[in-house]
Chain A
Amino acid sequence: MSARVHKLINQPENILSDMLDGFCAAYGDIARLTDEGLVVRATPKDPGKVALVIGCGSGHEPAMIGWIGQGLFDVNIAGEIFTAPGPERILQGIKAADRGAGVLVCVSHHAGDLLNAELALELCEMEGLSNVDMVVLYDDISSAPKGREPERRGTAGLFFVWKMLGAFCEGDGDLAAAKALAEKVRDNTRSLAMSLSSCASPVTGEVMFEMPEDEMEIGMGLHGEMGMGRQKALSARETIDLMLPPILEDLPFQAGDEVLVLLNNSGSMTLMELFILYKRVAEKLAQAGISVYKSWIGPYATTQEMAGFALSLCRVDDELKALWDAPAKGAYMKQL
């Protein structure tokens, strides 16, 4: 299946600034673009609370600009397309976010995000900013085997961390407690993605990879990185029957567990397809004795116009359920 190559943009070198200008013009009551190019809350959180910062490549909208707002992140340092921002920009973001109770830098595990966050923390040390820490987050079971979880990459399932960590940081918990909460959600989250089509890089205008029309790839990364392998495209039911068992076995999720479910649209799947997929997810979870606390279906972390989805599960207890239900007011993550 060939990808749509023509994109409605202006000069490719202005993609990032044009997009951020448009986003903040549309959602000015929620987010604001600073002179340094940081996306920050229109109204900062109260002093004395831990601030949350994330630097990440762009091209995954609404992640992460759509997650700035009350009950969510304080600052997003948006990098170029699929490219993490450099250390000085992350440092600017940390300074802009600080409300006097420490700053937690969240890293969706990819080499660029991790290396630049490490460099930014070294800059903090050199400048004497001491109450700053980072947490490395990952969820994709296809990117490293069980037992080597810290090598896995961060994908759509970090959705659960963003929401619950954001809620936690509206409370009085300190930086160490915030980091521990992020790790708790991460360690209870597992994801697996698939794709039916490629997508085009907005920077080069080239298709990112070739995908024959009647095939699918299981275990796709957020930048079109390959996963576990190609195979013939299947029906919705067969696809879930293939993808859900390895997710359940990995944690493992067991009978009696309560979970949150995300079906993340990676770009151009239809909602019709996602609802059909979800029907099978619900059937299989019921068969396994796993109950669903809440579900979300939609485009939360995208890879341009790629046709595919990620299935993510997060095991929750009473603490996490309360954080899940807490209010959130981001442009693309609302919980009332």
Chain B
Amino acid sequence: MSEIGSDDLKAMVLAIAARIADSRERLNRLDAALGDGDHGASISGAFELAASEVADLPDPKPSEIWLTTAQSLMNGMGGASGALFGTLFLKGGAAIRGKERLVKADLNQLWAASLAGVKARGKAEIGDKTMVDALEPAVLAFAANDNIADAWAAAAEAASNGAESTRALIARQGRAKYLGERGIGHQDPGATTIALMFEALDNYWREMTNGKA
């Protein structure tokens, strides 16, 4: 399997929503140490909305699935998370506009546009203790592997390592910035959500390809 169609993309949004719903309490606890403690509640609610809106789309193009997810996240969640996770899907969806099926090169473009969009919107770079610390290595790892299955696996591992790396950092963006050194030792909840997203995408791909083998 080397192409991705709308059915896959729909299922991928549902898989992300399910993985994040499982992690709701963990994300709340991470956010409690660095923010106001509701990241798990708000992002799982927003992805639940996205999953139901996406499931209701009749015969959508790939870009519509990502744009619908973006709108659900932005307007269902609000806050900095809504704007940034929404931008991730908005820019990714815009990058695949007009395509019926996606090949590896299209996915590379989708993730590159997502990363560029998030960095521009949040003005964050690697090392700022934000979702970029998980997203950038994941996007680079994805692009570095020509084989799709290898790319998902490498991206998931890179995102997980990136999220772990935020533990040692001092935040330079978002509410956690005001904590300064007191935030050291706590993993960033936004970066953790990115890691969960890529883990869900990798798992979805493994199950799909095993089923079809």
Contacts and interface: CB of A to CB of B under 8 A. Distances in A.
Interface of A: 57, 79-89, 110-112, 115-116, 118-119, 142-143, 153, 201, 203-204, 206, 208, 219, 221, 223-227
A122 to B, nearest CB: 10
B82 interface: yes
Given A115-B122, A225-B178, A225-B179, A86 B38 contact: no
B5 to A, nearest CB: 29
17 contacts: A79-B79, A83-B79, A83-B82, A85-B78, A86-B74, A88-B74, A116-B74, A116-B78, A116-B79, A119-B83, A201-B37, A201-B38, A203-B37, A203-B38, A206-B28, A208-B36, A208-B37
Contacts of B15: none
B81 to A, nearest CB: 7
A80 B42 contact: yes
Nearest to A57: B79
The A interface is mostly helix, strand or loop, or mixed, namely loop
A203 B37 CA distance: 9
Interface in B36-57: 36-38, 41-42
List of 5 A-B pairs having minimum Cβ-Cβ separation, nearest first:
A115-B83, A86-B75, A112-B80, A112-B79, A111-B80
Interface string B54-88: 00000000000000000100111111111110110
Given A80-B42, A86-B83, A119-B74, 6 more contacts: A83-B79, A83-B82, A84-B78, A86-B76, A88-B71, A112-B81
B84 to A, nearest CB: 7
B97 interface: no
Contacts of A221: 175, 178
A223 B179 CA distance: 12
Contacts of B71: 88
Given A111-B122, A201-B37, A204-B37, A89 B75 contact: yes
B32 interface: yes
Contact of A86 (B35, B41, B77, B180): B77
Nearest to B33: A209
B121 A115 contact: yes
B147 interface: no
Nearest to A227: B178
Contacts of A85: 78
B178 A226 contact: yes
B127 interface: no
A80 B80 CA distance: 12
A83 B77 contact: yes
B129 to A, nearest CB: 13
A57 B35 CA distance: 14
Contacts of A86: 74-78, 82-83, 86
Interface of B: 28, 32, 35-38, 41-42, 71, 74-84, 86-87, 121-122, 173-175, 178-180, 182
B41 A204 contact: yes
Given A86-B75, A206-B32, A116 B83 contact: yes
A112 B78 contact: yes
B80 A84 contact: yes
B83 A81 contact: no
A57 to B, nearest CB: 7
A144 B172 CA distance: 11
A83 B36 CA distance: 10
Contacts of A80: 42, 78-79
Contacts of A223: 35-36, 175
B183 to A, nearest CB: 9
Given A221-B178, A224-B36, A226-B182, A203 B80 contact: no
A119 B41 CA distance: 23
Nearest to A153: B178
Contacts of A87: 74-75, 83
A84 B41 CA distance: 15
A3 to B, nearest CB: 12
A57 B36 CA distance: 12
Contacts of B77: 83, 86
Nearest to A81: B38
Contacts of A115: 80, 83-84, 121-122
Contact of B175 (A111, A116, A219): A111
A88 B77 CA distance: 12
Contacts of A89: 75, 78
A221 to B, nearest CB: 6
A182 B182 CA distance: 34
Contacts of A208: 32, 36-37
B145 to A, nearest CB: 32
